[in-house]
Structure 1
Amino acid sequence: MDNLTHFNEQNRSKMVDVTNKEITSRSATATGQITMKPETLQRIHEGKIKKGDVLAVAQVAGIMAAKQTSSLIPMCHLINLTGVDIHFEDDDSSTVTANATVKTKSVTGVEIEALLAVQTALLTIYDMCKAIDRGMVISDVHVVEKMGGKSGHFVFNDQEN
């Protein structure tokens, strides 16, 4: 079992000391889905949601969230992000998939930033469409790939996870 690094000698939570870690290029991509009524997705496509362009607003919200990660997640380090990109795909039926890639040159990774970007983008879609569809479901949020740092390259494998 790995040693837990987020505890001090009094067994209390602490932010991990990354002072002596090497600065490297790092990136992480996360994904997640929101499932809705087909009519809701059709209205998103047609631009007929009263609050505005759903995916444009969700994209900006996701980027803003990635930049605020250390303010929301207590043990995350403040990281200078060098890039955040969010893409949406849908199945032309009832599911929108959000994919967020976050990049940095830092001493620690950006997996949480990518996950928060996806979650926030999906929550924004929910918020903008809830007046017509309260039964939407957010699901399957996870890291797809992570590169850089001491732990190296990680690719999500459906069979192992």
Structure 2
Amino acid sequence: MVVAGKSSRLTHIDAAGRPAMVDVSDKQASAREATADCLVRFPAAVAAQLKKSGLSTAKGPVLDTAIIAGTMAVKRTHELIPFCHPLPIDGCRFDISWANETTLKIECQVRTHHRTGVEMEALTGATIAALTVYDMCKALSHALVIGPAKLRAKSGGKRKVGKA
């Protein structure tokens, strides 16, 4: 799909069609921010049980553990996704709340001052936090559903998405 006014060229492919990391050495460092979220849907009885327990299971506090795992993932995104640059993370914040009676919304906001953005870090943080919620709750049910994960906003660099 080509977006009006945007190049359809993939940035991680070189002129010979081979995979390549983007060279950001000529870019100016600037404040970069991205926000992503991921949903976790529970069967109604499981959601009620979690709310009654204060979102704690036999494995411990679900949200606290998810925030720690998500933060660790943000800082290691470049080790998980081949062409991500290692970035100094200036800030990482999670907001986890019930979107409705059975759906937990995990939002991850990441900030840096660098030559490339933090979209992948925000998406990684949100999804790893969601996977951690699944892991913490799977003893209650395997019918949990993760997703979708979505970039909500980014700022800094050439393009702005949403409101960061």
TM-score (structure 2 length as normaliser): 0.89
- Is 1:24 the counterpart of 2:3? The answer is no
Letter in 2 for 1:30: A
Instruction: Kindly state the Cα deviation for residue 21 of structure 1 after the two structures are TM-superposed.
Output: 0.2
Please name the residue that 1:127 is paired with.
135
Alignment of 1:1-161 (within 5 A): 1-45=7-51, 46-47=53-54, 48-91=56-99, 93-151=101-159, 153-155=160-162
**1:150/1:91 Cα in 2 relative to 1: closer, same or farther (>3 Å)?**
closer
Kindly indicate whether the alpha-carbon contact (under 8 Å) linking 1:85 and 1:100 is maintained by their aligned counterparts in 2.
Answer: yes
Kindly indicate whether the alpha-carbon contact (under 8 Å) linking 1:84 and 1:101 is maintained by their aligned counterparts in 2.
Answer: yes
> Could you tell me the percent identity over the aligned residues?
36
Instruction: Kindly state the Cα deviation for residue 114 of structure 1 after the two structures are TM-superposed.
Output: 0.3
Instruction: Kindly state the Cα deviation for residue 91 of structure 1 after the two structures are TM-superposed.
Output: 4.2
Aligned partners of 1:30 and 1:137: how far apart in 2?
Answer: 18
Letter in 1 for 2:80: L
Aligned partners of 1:83 and 1:141: how far apart in 2?
Answer: 20
Kindly indicate whether the alpha-carbon contact (under 8 Å) linking 1:41 and 1:92 is maintained by their aligned counterparts in 2.
Answer: no
**Structure 1 unaligned runs (5+)?**
157-161
Letter in 2 for 1:150: K
Aligned partners of 1:120 and 1:88: how far apart in 2?
Answer: 13
Kindly indicate whether the alpha-carbon contact (under 8 Å) linking 1:29 and 1:145 is maintained by their aligned counterparts in 2.
Answer: yes
SS in 2 for 1:33: strand
Q: What is the count of residue pairs matched by the alignment?
A: 155
Give the stretch that moved more between structures: 124-133 or 90-99: 90-99
Give the stretch that moved more between structures: 34-43 or 47-56: 34-43
Letter in 2 for 1:76: C
**Structure 2 unaligned runs (5+)?**
1-6
**1:149/1:39 Cα in 2 relative to 1: closer, same or farther (>3 Å)?**
same
Instruction: Kindly state the Cα deviation for residue 139 of structure 1 after the two structures are TM-superposed.
Output: 1.6
